[in-house]
Structure 1
Amino acid sequence: MIANPLAPAWLQPPADANLLPVTVWSHNAARAASGMLEVAGVAASALAAEFGTPLYVVDEEDVRARALEARECFDREFALVGSAAKVYYACKAFMSAEVARWVTEAGLYIDVCSSGELAVALAAGVDPSRIGLHGNNKSLAEIDRAVRSGVGVLVVDSLIEIERIADAASRHSRVQPVRLRLNSGVHAHTHEYLATAREDQKFGITIADAPAAVARIRSSASLRFLGLHSHIGSQIFESEGFVESAKRLLALHAELLSGGEIPELNLGGGFGIAYTSVDTAVPISVIAARFAAIVASECARLSIPVPVVAVEPGRSIIGPSTFTLYEVGTIKDVEVTLPNEATAIRRYVSVDGGMSDNIRTALYAADYSVRLANRASTAEPALVRVAGKHCESGDIVVLADYLPGDVEPGDLLAVPATGAYCWAMANNYNYLARPAVVAVRNGVARLIVRGETEADLLSRDAGIRSTGVTEAISVTEQGAP
């Protein structure tokens, strides 16, 4: 088959549009003999019938396995260089009580960046000492709540926070461990908005300002300085940025040791995952080995002990575990004129969700894949653009992929690798209710986050006084059959 000229250069027509690339899908996703997409033995059609669409479907065993693998790999590699590691789950990628329990049962810590995320972690029964709080603008109430709750570490993001955290710790008669977030100046090879260690952005303080900040932390009787912290970005495939950031932090770490102990060093997260068949994610075992090697090498060069190293994966644990299930509503073939005056057809396949459940495509021009979920097909593949139902031309879920040419209204589509930053960034644009989240394990599906209803949305509108109106238009959950 000849590629559609409207397809991006990296996207080639598949030999079989029914195949599920193993790098993109969760470990327990497969096609049954009937052609139906299944995850952990549960059919996509059964999920749609019971829970409606759109629907986030999480492969629970996949999440647990990735969390455990991350912890074991970093434990092993840093033990080999005479130290230890702490793996934090960056819950901004996706947070629910069940997921918090899964990752902590695998031995991970939890990284939160708001009072709301902290509330979920505490409600899930997470030991507060295994929680870290981030944030560039933590409110006084958030700082007080974190200190009062006994969180294991607060990350200082600006000089003003040193006194704020110290005051809260003093009020609660605590010595609060803190890390200092640095803007290392390392440029990650990622989207401009995902790069978080450049000089001109809101996170952290500069390396030049760090010694004075650490001195202020050490001068406070209610604070304990644990170490430095950096996060260079998200969805990163190359290791060069991490290597350079580690070198810069360790040089400062060595300098600061003259003023007292520094037991830890946090190198952040941002490890990339595969969203399409051409993406090559670095295995977590390789990442752990590289981190241990560079840290050990630099510490040997600087003649300092290897600190405990903390990392913060989020996307790489939850991202590949999840797909979003949609139902096709309408299909349009649009003739597009090419620069050479020839024309080509782009097929728009519209589904019952969109930028309210996955805004990453609109924000970052993120690439995703798509497959038929309710059946297999032998039809010739056709280039499609999966669009949402919102009143917005940029409401695109999948910019470009190939589906069987006989895709039709009523078909189910599955978009993989939507575990990270999809539900977490979901919204109510056009007053769509946010979808439910279902976990599947050993042939059983169960709700872990209830989908919103129109009644939920209307209940917050103080101008709606007639309960009759609410009941008349909100009799079922959004998407339910």
Structure 2
Amino acid sequence: MHAHEAGWAHADGSRSPSWLRQPGDVNDLVPHLWSKTAQKQDGVLYVGGMAVADVVAEHNTPAYLLDEDDFRSRARAFRDAFSTYDVFYAGKAFLCTTVARWIAEEGLNLDVCSDGELTVALRAGFDPAKIGYHGNNKSLMELRRAVASGVGRVIVDSFTEIERLAAATKEMISTGSITEPTRVMVRVTAGVEAHTHEYIATAHEDQKFGFSITSGDAFEAVRRVLDADGLELLGLHSHIGSQIFDSSGFEVAARRVLALHARIADELGTTLPEMDLGGGFGIAYTTQDDPADPSILAKEMSEIVAHECRALGIDQPRLSIEPGRAIVGPSMCTVYTVGTVKNVELDGGAARTYVSVDGGMSDNIRTALYDADYSCTLASRASTAPPLLGRIVGKHCEAGDIVVKDEFVPADIAPGDLIAVPGTGAYCRSMASNYNHALRPPVIAVRDGSAQVVVRRETVDDLLATDVGAVE
């Protein structure tokens, strides 16, 4: 399928998805879309024991609400289900110093993929030995800082990076600034295309990440790391994409990566101690999504690896995984204030109701970028009006500035109402922008009836801080 050049919002197609069903009561929540403490009382949404309206009264909208108990419980669920693995929280989903501390307190490791993310982790006091450093284009400066900081592993992604990392490590060892080799994993592409959006499927051959197993680049990368002074090879790393519900992709990837693992032992005489299966575990954004429980994922993935190791006659390496979205995604919702409600007549006598809110693609780009689906609920009151199919849109100057493409809302929805969108913990604040010079919203952690700002709202001073021509 080809997208319309002006954006998917202009393309032909049905006016509502086939999976969307009209609710019996438009006030009800669909529990598996929300964090565990979310509930309605007399139509008012509560999260973390706080009425969303009360949080808004103090902090305004738009705002991200992060359910601390839910976040911690999901982190523990992965830690406990994958108890024989090393579990790395994928910080790119959402990271701030408070979240880094929560991750440390719950006993997880941390993935970062930029110098900025590493800075946040170190500022939070996170143990660098429990940090993995990703990225397909790490600069020499970034590599030097990672090595000097003592990160536990660097996931190399190109031949150039191997050379840079080896040179940086050798130099620092020679000057006495470090004494230990840099531990490395080689990211490989297994030729598996996950059933997900093209932009977040990361293991097929035609993309920027990793070394191809099929072409032989992965084997050559391993050989070069083993030959490099100052580098210690831990194992192979594979990631097949994001928002994945089917373990069959992991099965094919594990088979191909373990075959390479066995070949390395046979031809190079090195048995690699570890293997990383990546992350990409999906969450429920709408009623069409049915994610697996971490315990089921752990059982299935462990059985896959054990079976393949038996078939190859090799010992099983120590495994690691990298959940990010699956931990923070359902733990956060975004709250908006309705500004306008507009009914637009369409061809054939149909109509669409556009509900405009005070945020949009600057705080959630995923609908525009990935054609992602979201749900929502009226958060500030109960309604006795019948359900109405609406589209929740932002305030930016783009036709594709859509937050929720299709959802049933009360027919009496009006300016001043609060709307909450669940499942916005992953990649919404992380990918937020200042488009139209919007100020990025705060992240407010809620727990046991209290709220704590963990990332404050941007101010006009923040907006102008880098504008060297700005004058008061």
Q: What is the TM-score with the length of structure 2 in the denominator? A: 0.94
Aligned counterpart for 1:387 among listed residues 388, 393, 396: 393
Residue 18 (structure 1) aligned with residue 27 (structure 2): yes
Residue 154 (structure 1) aligned with residue 154 (structure 2): yes
Residue 247 (structure 1) aligned with residue 255 (structure 2): yes
Residue 189 (structure 1) aligned with residue 199 (structure 2): no
Query: Aligned-pair distance for 1:278?
Result: 2.2
Q: Please give the alpha-carbon distance, in whole angstroms, between the structure 2 residues aligned to 1:189 and 1:300.
A: 28
Q: Please give the alpha-carbon distance, in whole angstroms, between the structure 1 residues aligned to 2:107 and 2:265.
A: 29
Residue 39 (structure 1) aligned with residue 47 (structure 2): yes
TM alignment of 1:409-448, pairs within 5 A: 409-448=415-454
Q: Which amino acid aligns with 2:115?
A: S
Partner of 1:276: 286
Q: Which amino acid aligns with 1:315?
A: R
Partner of 1:477: none
More moved, 10-19 vs 407-416: 10-19
Query: Aligned-pair distance for 1:177?
Result: 0.4
Deviation per CA, 1:260-304: give whole Å up to 9, x if none: 131100010000000012211111111111111011111111111
Residue 74 (structure 1) aligned with residue 82 (structure 2): yes
Partner of 2:218: 210
Task: Give ranges in structure 2 of 5+ residues lacking alignment.
Answer: 1-13, 174-179
Deviation per CA, 1:128-174: give whole Å up to 9, x if none: 00000000000111100000000000001011111111111112223
Partner of 1:345: 351
Query: Aligned-pair distance for 1:352?
Result: 0.3
Query: Aligned-pair distance for 1:459?
Result: 2.1
Q: Which amino acid aligns with 1:128?
A: P
Q: Which amino acid aligns with 2:260?
A: L
Q: Which amino acid aligns with 1:205?
A: F
Partner of 1:143: 143
The question of whether the paired residues in 2 share the 8 Å contact of 1:6 and 1:344 is answered with no
**Secondary structure at the counterpart of residue 172 of structure 1:** helix
Residue 60 (structure 1) aligned with residue 68 (structure 2): yes
Partner of 2:369: 363
Task: Give ranges in structure 1 of 5+ residues lacking alignment.
Answer: 76-83, 468-481
Q: Please give the alpha-carbon distance, in whole angstroms, between the structure 1 residues aligned to 2:29 and 2:130.
A: 37
Q: Please give the alpha-carbon distance, in whole angstroms, between the structure 2 residues aligned to 1:202 and 1:308.
A: 27
The question of whether the paired residues in 2 share the 8 Å contact of 1:372 and 1:414 is answered with yes
Q: Please give the alpha-carbon distance, in whole angstroms, between the structure 2 residues aligned to 1:326 and 1:171.
A: 52
Q: Please give the alpha-carbon distance, in whole angstroms, between the structure 2 residues aligned to 1:23 and 1:251.
A: 38
Deviation per CA, 1:344-377: give whole Å up to 9, x if none: 1210000000000000000011000010000121
Q: Which amino acid aligns with 1:186?
A: V
Partner of 1:89: 89
Query: Aligned-pair distance for 1:175?
Result: 0.2
Partner of 1:27: 36
Backbone CA RMSD of aligned residues: 0.9
Partner of 1:222: 230
Partner of 1:310: 320
TM alignment of 1:320-335, pairs within 5 A: 320-335=330-345
Q: Which amino acid aligns with 2:367?
A: T
Q: Which amino acid aligns with 1:295?
A: V
**Secondary structure at the counterpart of residue 199 of structure 1:** coil
Aligned counterpart for 2:274 among listed residues 235, 247, 264: 264
Q: Please give the alpha-carbon distance, in whole angstroms, between the structure 1 residues aligned to 2:245 and 2:261.
A: 26
The question of whether the paired residues in 1 share the 8 Å contact of 2:111 and 2:133 is answered with yes
Q: Please give the alpha-carbon distance, in whole angstroms, between the structure 2 residues aligned to 1:97 and 1:217.
A: 33
Q: Please give the alpha-carbon distance, in whole angstroms, between the structure 2 residues aligned to 1:235 and 1:29.
A: 23
**Secondary structure at the counterpart of residue 110 of structure 2:** strand
Q: Please give the alpha-carbon distance, in whole angstroms, between the structure 2 residues aligned to 1:460 and 1:210.
A: 42
Identity %, equivalent residues: 55
The question of whether the paired residues in 2 share the 8 Å contact of 1:327 and 1:351 is answered with yes
Q: Please give the alpha-carbon distance, in whole angstroms, between the structure 2 residues aligned to 1:438 and 1:355.
A: 20
Residue 121 (structure 1) aligned with residue 114 (structure 2): no
The question of whether the paired residues in 1 share the 8 Å contact of 2:261 and 2:271 is answered with no
Deviation per CA, 1:410-439: give whole Å up to 9, x if none: 000000000000000000000000000000
Q: Which 4+ residue blocks in structure 1 deviate beyond 3 angstroms?
A: none
Query: Aligned-pair distance for 1:313?
Result: 0.5
